[in-house]
Amino acid sequence: MEQKTPVRFTLGKQSSLAPERIVDEWLDGKEDGEDGVLDIDPRVRLMYSANEGDLEGIKEILESGIDVNSPDIDFRTALHVAACQGFTDVAQLLLDNGAKVDPKDRWGSTPLADAIHYKNHDMIKLLEKHGARPPVAPTQVKNARQVPEYEIRPDELDFSNSIELSKGTFHIASWRGTQVAVKKFGEEVITDEEKVKAFIDELTLLQKIRHPNVVQFLGAVTQSSPMMIVMEYLPKGDLRTYLDTNGPLKPTKALRFAMDIARGMNYLHENKPEAIIHRDLEPSNVLRDDTGHLKVADFGVSKLVKVTNRVIREDRPLACDETSCRYVAPEVFKNEEYDTKVDVFSFALILQEMIEGCPPFRAKKDNEVPKSYAAKQRPPFKASAKFYAHGLKELIEECWNEKPSQRPTFKQIIPRLESIYNKFVQKRHWKVRPLKCFHNFEAMWRKDGSSVGSRTRSSRSGRGI
């Protein structure tokens, strides 16, 4: 039998991994028949029909005896083409007729990888249902000795009773008999270089962190897809939920919570040789442990900053879909240079919210709040003065100062919070103590049989009360 010349199909969407190039004529290998009609290679006709979603055309070609897995010169099949276009009915027809679910083209891309690249979610589900394996993670190493020490095998993570946590990113799973919080990265990360870099950056941060007021990193899945980060699970939830449930906190509790946050943030900022800027410090990213203490969490948009150069300037402004605009310092959204003091600004807003019982500028939409900060506006103090321990309101105002250089560091904030807390507790203690002593004396006078009334009057006149 005469061997047909290899052909290349180049209409429609191309391989997700193919380099940019000037595409060849899609009818490579065509010849004029004796009657002047183009003699198109049946393999190209199959791919063209898949590209057009022509089910009847596909059936006709397959009935003529053409192999459903016939590749072109780039080893792409009709299923690759259908996956790129997102035609699930075409893919189902091809699979029903024996199409291989995981063929690789010359660049190593499979139909599933193409479907992921073009965000064809129904196609992804269909291919996975038929046994398609997710592509390897872009962080996969070639030598087993290079696998990170913190690597967790995905089959060790049990998601059978998984519960989705806040923001839809974290899930509860079981790992070696322990409940853990797992941050899953979607399939789109595999083909997005920026997101892969963000994943690696977050791992770089988490490996450095060990502090009782910062959520503990346990490990990660980096050698397969989906990639995942595994953290300790804190069942008591986040500060956002706690505030929504309990409203304004008592001053003593607000101060204890504030000290927890400040200690965790001070550890991050004092990290050597690179300081860590959280950049997304807000109640949803502060979690409660079993003892009622707080831990700082979620470093998805955090930054490492060289100690010798603690200033960052972004290539583009931070968007509201990346973080909560309501708690971010104005210099970040104005795309100005910024440093660790952006976290101090956020801390001030959280501290005030714990006293006031409502988020900053609650009446405004999330994306409108940065304009208020940029206009030098700050959330009003509405709670009674008795709820602000002496010096606390002044500390909050210093922390959200318009000039970052005028804001205190967390190293300076911690002793001030401790002093405010101790004075507030002592003040309350002395208010109660005299009354308690008086009752003790009264009980003693009763025991010796003396007149309580006369002794009480005598005592009062003797102390000048």
- pTM here? 0.65
- State how far the Cα of 67 lies from the Cα of 74, in Å rounded to an integer: 16
pLDDT at 133: 79
- Angle between the 121-129 and 78-85 helix axes, to the nearest 10 degrees? 140
For the annotated catalytic residues, the residue numbers are 280
Q: Where are the alpha helices (DSSP H) in 28-120?
A: 42-52, 55-63, 78-85, 88-96, 111-117
Contact 287, 297 (CB under 8 A): yes
- Would you state the pLDDT for residue 386? 87
CB 117 within 8 A of CB 89: no
- Map out the domains of the chain as residue ranges: 31-129, 144-232, 239-420, 424-463
The count of other CB atoms within 10 Å of the CB of residue 341 is: 23
Listed residue (248, 267, 261) closest to 293, CA to CA: 261
CATH architecture for segment(s) 31-129: Alpha Horseshoe (1.25)
C-alpha to C-alpha distance for 135 and 116, rounded to whole angstroms: 10
- Tens-of-pLDDT digits for all 465 residues of the chain? 444 555 565 656 766 655 544 344 444 444 444 444 446 788 888 989 999 999 999 999 999 999 999 998 888 999 999 999 999 999 999 999 999 999 988 777 889 888 887 889 999 999 989 998 776 666 776 667 777 888 998 889 988 877 776 555 678 889 999 999 998 876 666 666 777 777 887 888 788 889 999 999 999 988 877 788 899 999 898 999 999 999 999 999 999 999 999 999 999 999 888 888 888 899 999 999 989 999 998 876 556 554 445 566 665 555 555 557 889 899 988 888 889 999 999 999 999 999 999 999 998 888 889 889 989 999 999 999 889 988 999 999 999 999 999 999 999 999 999 999 998 888 765 554 444 444 444 444 444 445 444 444 444 433 333
144-232 is classed in which CATH architecture? 2-Layer Sandwich (3.30)
Query: Please, are residues 79 and 67 in contact by the beta-carbon 8 Å criterion?
Result: no
Query: Residue 345's pLDDT is what?
Result: 97
CATH 3.30.450.70 at 239-420, yes or no: no
Residue ranges of alpha helices (H) inside 276-340 are 330-333
pLDDT confidence of residue 1: 42
